[in-house]
Each structure stands twice: as C-alpha cells, then as structure tokens.
C-alpha cells in the first residue's frame, strides 16, 4: 500500500490539497452509539458539575492523547457497579429499553449497587490516564509548545487522582440525575454493567468512554469536545515534536548521506509506522515488520530498516490514506465491500470536482445509488474520462489505482487485492463485461429484464449453495473471495473461467429443482411475487453462467441449437403440458413436482436415460393435447393491463413439443454424461422462453406467432 499512497501524496501536493496533520499519539475516540455512549464529565471547583452524553456528530472530531495503557483527556473508564444476578439484569434491561419509564423507586436501584466494578487491575490504567499522562503532557508542552487549555484541564482533574473520589462523585451525580429523571438511560449506563457469566471485574469490567471538560473552558469556547480545543492541542503536540526532532538532529549530527526508500533524507526511526482510523470502520497501520520474522535477518536488516521511510514521508502517507478514506470521499474513492473490508479506487491526477471511481465496481448500498445499474455507472465513467481528456488534459489520469484492504484479525489489516489500470483499460474491460452479460436468450417473466452484475456482486452469486427446497445450505460458507469479480473483470484466465463454471454448474442442479416449479408453472408463478429473493438469485445465476460461457467462446447464437439446451427446453414444455393436463382432467390437483422438474437431476447426470423416460411418460399427455388443442389455463392473476392472464393453449404447447423434438433428432448424441458447460446449457434451456413459433410450423392450427406463453410472456 505504501507505493500506491506515495503516488497519491504526490498528486495531492500537485493540486495543493491540504489535510490535517495529526500527532501520531493523538487518536480518535471510539465511535459513539446509543449502546456505547461517550460521557462528558464537566468539572468545576474540584467537583463534578454535570454529566452529559456527547452527540455522535460531535464525537467524530474528539481525540485523545496516549496509548493502549491510558489516554487523556478522553479515556475508557468502566461502569461503577457490576450486576450478575438474573432478576436485576432483566429489570435493568427493561428500564434501558423503555427509556427509564417505571423507574420510580430509587431504593431498588441502590440495592443493586453491591459489587464495585472498579478493580485493582482497573486502578493501574486509571493512574496512568490521570497521573502519568498528564505529567508527561506538562513536561512536553511548554514554552512555544504550551497549550493553556490542557494545563487548566490537568489542574481540574487533580482532585480526582484517587479513583475512589471520582467513583463517589459520579455515583452522587448519577442518582441526582435519576431523581430528577434527567437522561435516565445515560445515568443507568454509567452506573451499571451486566457481567458475563462467572467472570470477575478483573476479567470483564466493560467500557465506558468519557471525556473530561472544565466549566470555564466551555464559557470561553474552548471545551474539550470542541474543534478549537482539538486543533489547538494537536498543534501544540506537533510543535513539541518538531522541537524535539531539532534537538536530536543537533545532538546526533548530520545524516544527509542516508536516504529512505523514496530518495529523501532519512533519519533512522525506531517508532512504528502511524495508524489511520478509516471511516469505513478499519484502523490501519501502514506497515509493520516484526523482528521475530526470521526472513529479515538474511539481509541483516530488521523492522523499519527493511524499507526505511523518513518521518516526513510517513506523515504524507498517513495524510494520503486519511484523505481518500475520509467521510467526504465515501462513494467516490472508497466503499465498504463487506464486513471489515474496504475498496479504494482513485486516479493518479486528482480533479477538483471529484467523480465517483467506486460505483462501477460495487453498488453503493447506503446511498441513493443502491438501485444503480452497472451499465449506467460504466457509461458515467466513460463520459468522465472523455470529458476530462477533451477539456481538462492536465487532470487526465494516466492510471487508476485499485486496492482492497481487509481486517485479517484484531491486530492486522492487509491489502488482499491490488490493480493499477489505465482508464482505457477499464472502459474496454467494462464493455466486454456487459457483452458477456447479454449471452442469454430471451427469458420469461419474472426473469425478463436481466441486468449486468457489478464485479463485487459475483462472489455473492457464487457463494450461494442451494438445497433442493430453495433454501441456502449455509449463509456462513463463503469460499469465493469478495474481489473475485475484479479478477474476472481484468484477467483473462481460461482456467479461472472453467473453475467458476464448474461451481455454477453444480449449484444450478439444485437450483433448477426448485426454480422450475416456481417459474415454469402457472401455479408457481401465481404464488410468488416476481421480486421474491429467490427469483433474484435465479436471475443473477443465469446471467453469471451466461457470462462464463461467453468468455469460454460458447455464444447464445450457437448453444441454443445444441443438445443440452434443447433438452432443457423439452423439460420445460413437458412441465407446462403436464400442469395443463392436471388442471383440466384432475380438477386442478397439480402435483408439487411435474414431469420435467422431476427428471431434471437425472437429465443433468444421465441425459440419454432421462430423455427415454421423458418420452415414455409424456405419451398420455400428448395424446390428450391432440384432442384438446384449445384448452388453456386462465389464471386469476392480472397482467400489466389489468386483464386476466391467459397461458398457452394445449395446441401451442404440443406444437412447441414437436418442434423441439424435431430439433433434438438432429443433435442427439449417445453421450452418457454432461460436462460442466453442458449442465449450464441444460439449466439455461430449462428456464428460457420458448422460441417464436412461426405459422408454417405444423400442428399450430390457429395459433398466432406472437402467442408466446400468453400476455404475461411479452418482452
């Protein structure tokens, strides 16, 4: 990621894009939610003046100085008391859920205050936050680096250096809030923590995010939750850092002969690379090298020496990542592609008016673009590139950098995919992607109107493993990585296409077992809405299978005349004839599985045997259809014009059966097994619309050539 961010930092300097530089140990506080509030403790004259909940939008710019051992002026405390018994736990949960309603008897609440939640282990962290770090700040911030508000805040918290003093003060203020019915939920969250099982407070005390403030600072507009305080404190820390670095340079002499990885003057650093808290929910450390990794010692360089980067360049890289990962750039240069995963896309030249570089690859589900189509986003990108090239050559990007980062575990975030592509390459690949998605014959409603999937939707399609009852076998099993669609978009790998087709062909067998009765029968269509989740999954599967076939040079103009596809069509028309017969002769008693769907699995494994069984089983229904050519199902479901839907007549279905049978004669083989691409064609043929029936086809009688399954089948 370092090289990519270096290119971005250069582009930012060229465009004079300034970003805030934050001191490395001055970090953001945890995200504020209703279940994880941040409590503002306002102090005055050695007392807790009031307790307030910090608004989430305010918390986004609050920071704290320190490390995992302790921080200031914001820190992690713990709720005052621990509840372990079931009855008070349920009562507390009920009060929190109902905004404190019914909490009239405070003696009950006081009776729960038995187990002090501030343990000896907690006291060590408390002393670091309220004694060690304030002392460290006073030693660091003086002379030109002094910052008076932080000095005043340190003086304000001194009376509470003993944690028991603060514990009593908070408890007193909380019960005052409960008595006045002021912010009851916050008061209860400060007061109690429901313990987990048999764990002790030493092991499980919970967290309570707080920030100390001083009453007079608020009066002067320098509250610790305000942006003036945050930026002023940060500037003082940076000034102290510069002063410290200058002193070290004077003492250590010149190191002009040392250069970092980018050819800049380099002063050896032992501190780790800076961290960045991204709006996408990840905390990223730009690079870490652990000294215990033995491979480093081969070159007599360990940790930072393996890829030396100076302090100035480190800050520039950090600023670059913060810039493209900021809240303002969401949907433009970054978007979440999964839990703890972010896609970054940005150009080598940064335009003043930022276009979206992510929407062509991943649907932005959290915005008004969640219903966007790939075709429209690809066209938008093409127009941006063309316009920039014609009217603003200076900002025409030579390349577009793409990478995906994912949190591997609690301690590591890793780049899992990276690609650098030219704008023309992206346009060319997008055009081919769209052409591939059109490699399907006409589909009947509700499958009609197929669209092109976004690359990051491919993994969702491939990871759905279906059972024959139409339910997912597992929603947790996800062997295909989220960015696999990006690999398909940019790479031409026949082995990859064949591997993917094998997976989809196997998945399609179970999908057809429930999709056929759902989509090919009148009864199934009338019971299910066309927007049903299962229908959408079938549509996506069909499109992706068509794309894989396209890349493997199996085109719809050819495969629609091949044996597997025609056998699928034969199964489809057999279902329709069987259903119509049951509707008329058996008084609507249609079995849950029709002849075609019942033989589908067998047809995918042993096609010749299934074809022979189909011919034998269809004889009585064909005989009936010859005598009752005008019979059809008139469904109660309304079409788009408000009329009753009329489905194909027996004569039409019989003519279609005969036509497909005649086509099969010319292509029928003695092949005992279908390969992956033939299973895929069987699946497509089973769900595709019938071909147009011309007047010259025999046995059509008075059937109109546009009667393709009734009005509901219009495209």
Enumerate the β-bridge partners of residue 418: 403
CA separation for the pair 283, 483 (Å, rounded): 20
- Average pLDDT over every residue of 134-160: 93
Q: Among 370, 397, 432, where does a domain finish?
A: 432
Question: Across 287-296, 412-421, 580-589, 680-689, which has the greatest mean pLDDT?
Answer: 680-689
Question: Across 301-305, 476-480, 661-665, 682-686, which has the greatest mean pLDDT?
Answer: 682-686
Which pLDDT belongs to residue 658? Answer: 93
Same domain, 18 and 59: no
Q: Is the pLDDT of residue 289 over 60?
A: no
CA separation for the pair 511, 534 (Å, rounded): 10
β-pair type (70-72, 63-67): antiparallel
As a 3-state breakdown, the chain gives helix, strand, coil percent values, each rounded to 5, of 50, 15, 40
Q: What is the pLDDT of residues 74-88, one digit of tens each?
A: 999 999 999 988 899
Token pair, residue 253, equals 């002499």
Q: How many Cα atoms sit within 13 Å of 572 on the Cβ side? A: 27
| Residue 146 located in a structural domain | yes
Same domain, 572 and 669: yes
Q: How many structural domains is the chain composed of?
A: 4
CA separation for the pair 467, 450 (Å, rounded): 24
Q: In what order do the strands lie in the sheet with 341-347?
A: 334-338, 341-347, 400-407, 413-421
Q: Is the pLDDT of residue 705 over 80?
A: no
Q: What is the pLDDT of residues 488-513, one digit of tens each?
A: 999 989 999 999 999 999 999 988 88
| Residue 233 located in a structural domain | no
| Residue 524 located in a structural domain | yes
CA separation for the pair 475, 525 (Å, rounded): 26
Token pair, residue 482, equals 């989220």
| Residue 234 located in a structural domain | no
DSSP state for residue 295 in the 8-state scheme: G
Q: Is the pLDDT of residue 700 over 50?
A: no
Percent of the chain with pLDDT over 90: 53
Q: What is the pLDDT of residues 21-56, one digit of tens each?
A: 888 899 989 889 999 999 999 999 999 999 999 999
Same domain, 562 and 705: yes
Same domain, 404 and 465: no
Which pLDDT belongs to residue 352? Answer: 67
- Average pLDDT over every residue of 244-267: 69
Same domain, 44 and 17: no
Higher pLDDT, 7 or 370: 7
Residues 6 or more apart in contact with residue 598 via CB below 8 angstroms: none
Same domain, 201 and 246: no
Same domain, 464 and 573: yes
Q: Is the pLDDT of residue 139 over 60?
A: yes
Same domain, 503 and 467: yes
Which pLDDT belongs to residue 624? Answer: 95
Q: Is the pLDDT of residue 304 over 70?
A: no
Domain span holding position 12? 2-22+240-324
Q: What are phi and psi of 677, to 5 degrees?
A: -70, -30
Higher pLDDT, 654 or 370: 654
Q: Is the pLDDT of residue 533 over 80?
A: no
Percent of the chain with pLDDT over 70: 88
pTM of the model: 0.78
Q: Grade residue 271 by pLDDT with cuts at 50, 70 and 90.
A: confident
Same domain, 303 and 419: no
How many angstroms from the chain centroid is the CA of residue 371?
A: 16
DSSP state for residue 15 in the 8-state scheme: T
Do 199 and 192 form a contact (C-beta atoms < 8 A)?
no
Same domain, 458 and 576: yes
CA separation for the pair 312, 430 (Å, rounded): 39
Do 332 and 350 form a contact (C-beta atoms < 8 A)?
no
Same domain, 254 and 152: no
Q: In this structure, which long-range contacts are made by residues 411-414, counting pairs with CB atoms below 8 Å and at least 24 apart in sequence?
A: 413/282, 413/283, 413/284, 413/285
Residue whose structure tokens are 């966007």: 372
Q: For residue 479, with 0-12 CB atoms within 10 Å meaning exposed, 13-18 middle and 19 or more buried, which class applies?
A: exposed
| Residue 231 located in a structural domain | no
Which pLDDT belongs to residue 442? Answer: 92
Residues 6 or more apart in contact with residue 88 via CB below 8 angstroms: 112
- Average pLDDT over every residue of 89-113: 89
Q: Among 407, 432, 457, where does a domain finish?
A: 432
Same domain, 565 and 653: yes
Angle, helices 595-605/607-617, rounded to nearest 10 degrees: 160
């Amino acid at each position: 990621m370092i090289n990519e961010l270096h290119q971005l930092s250069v582009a930012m300097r060229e465009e004079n894009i300034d970003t805030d530089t934050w001191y490395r140990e001055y970090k953001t506080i945890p995200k504020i939610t209703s279940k994880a509030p941040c409590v503002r403790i306002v102090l005055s004259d050695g007392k807790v003046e009031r307790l307030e909940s910090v608004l989430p939008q305010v918390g986004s710019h609050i920071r704290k100085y320190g490390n995992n051992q302790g921080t200031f002026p914001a820190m992690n405390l713990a709720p005052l008391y621990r509840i372990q018994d079931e009855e008070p736990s349920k009562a507390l949960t009920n009060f929190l859920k109902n905004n404190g309603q019914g909490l009239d008897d405070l003696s009950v609440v006081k009776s729960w205050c038995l187990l002090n939640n501030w343990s000896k282990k907690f006291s060590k962290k408390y002393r670091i936050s309220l004694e060690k770090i304030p002392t460290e700040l006073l030693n660091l911030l003086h002379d030109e680096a002094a910052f008076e508000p932080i000095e005043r805040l340190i003086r304000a918290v001194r009376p509470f250096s003993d944690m028991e003093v603060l514990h009593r003060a908070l408890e007193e203020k909380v019960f005052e809030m409960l008595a006045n019915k002021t912010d009851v939920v916050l008061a209860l969250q400060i007061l109690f923590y429901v313990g987990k099982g048999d764990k002790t407070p030493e092991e499980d005390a919970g967290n309570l995010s707080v920030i100390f403030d001083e009453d007079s600072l608020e009066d002067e507009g320098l509250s610790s939750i305000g942006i003036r305080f945050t930026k002023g404190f940060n500037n003082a820390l940076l000034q102290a850092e510069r002063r410290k670095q200058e002193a070290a340079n004077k003492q250590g002499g010149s190191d002009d002969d040392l250069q970092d990885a980018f050819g800049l003057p380099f002063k050896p650093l032992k501190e780790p690379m800076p961290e960045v808290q991204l709006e996408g929910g990840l905390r990223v450390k730009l690079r870490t090298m652990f000294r215990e990794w033995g491979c480093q010692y081969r070159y007599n360089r360990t940790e930072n020496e393996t890829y030396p980067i100076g302090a100035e360049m480190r800050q520039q890289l950090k600023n670059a990542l913060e810039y493209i990962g900021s809240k303002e750039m969401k949907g433009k240069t970054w978007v979440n592609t999964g839990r703890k995963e972010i896609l970054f896309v940005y150009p080598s030249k940064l335009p003043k008016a930022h276009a979206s570089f992510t929407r062509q690859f991943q649907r932005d589900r959290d915005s008004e673009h969640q219903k966007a189509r790939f075709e429209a986003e690809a066209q938008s990108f093409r127009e941006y590139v063309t316009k920039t090239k014609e009217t603003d050559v200076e900002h025409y990007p030579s390349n577009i950098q793409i990478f995906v980062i994912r949190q591997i575990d609690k301690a590591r975030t890793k780049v899992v995919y990276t690609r650098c592509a030219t704008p023309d390459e992206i346009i060319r690949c997008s055009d081919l992607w769209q052409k591939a998605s059109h490699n399907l014959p006409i589909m009947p409603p509700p499958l009609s109107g197929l669209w092109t999937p976004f690359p990051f939707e491919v993994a969702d399609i491939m990871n759905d493993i279906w059972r024959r009852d139409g339910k997912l076998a597992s929603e947790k099993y996800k062997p295909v990585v989220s960015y696999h669609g990006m690999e398909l978009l940019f790479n031409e790998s026949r082995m990859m296409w064949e591997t993917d087709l094998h997976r989809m062909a196997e998945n399609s067998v179970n999908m057809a077992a429930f999709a056929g009765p759902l989509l090919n029968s009148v009864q199934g269509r009338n019971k299910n809405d066309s927007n049903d989740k299962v229908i959408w999954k079938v549509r996506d599967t069909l499109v992706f299978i068509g794309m894989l076939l396209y890349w493997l040079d199996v085109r719809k103009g050819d495969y629609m005349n091949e044996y597997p596809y025609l056998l699928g069509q034969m199964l489809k028309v057999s279902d329709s004839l069987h259903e119509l017969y049951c509707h008329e002769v058996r008084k609507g008693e249609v079995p849950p599985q029709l002849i075609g769907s019942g033989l589908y699995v067998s047809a995918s494994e042993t096609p010749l045997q299934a074809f022979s069984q189909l011919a034998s089983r269809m004889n009585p229904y064909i005989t009936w259809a010859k005598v009752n050519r005008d019979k059809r199902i008139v469904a109660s479901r309304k079409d788009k014009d408000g009329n009753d839907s009329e489905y194909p007549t027996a004569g039409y279905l019989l003519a279609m059966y005969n036509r497909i049978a005649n086509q099969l004669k010319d292509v029928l083989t003695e092949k005992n097994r279908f390969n992956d691409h033939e299973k895929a064609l069987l699946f497509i043929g089973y769900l595709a619309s019938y071909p147009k029936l011309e007047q010259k086809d025999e046995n059509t009688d008075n059937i109109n050539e546009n009667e393709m399954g009734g009005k509901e089948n219009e495209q």
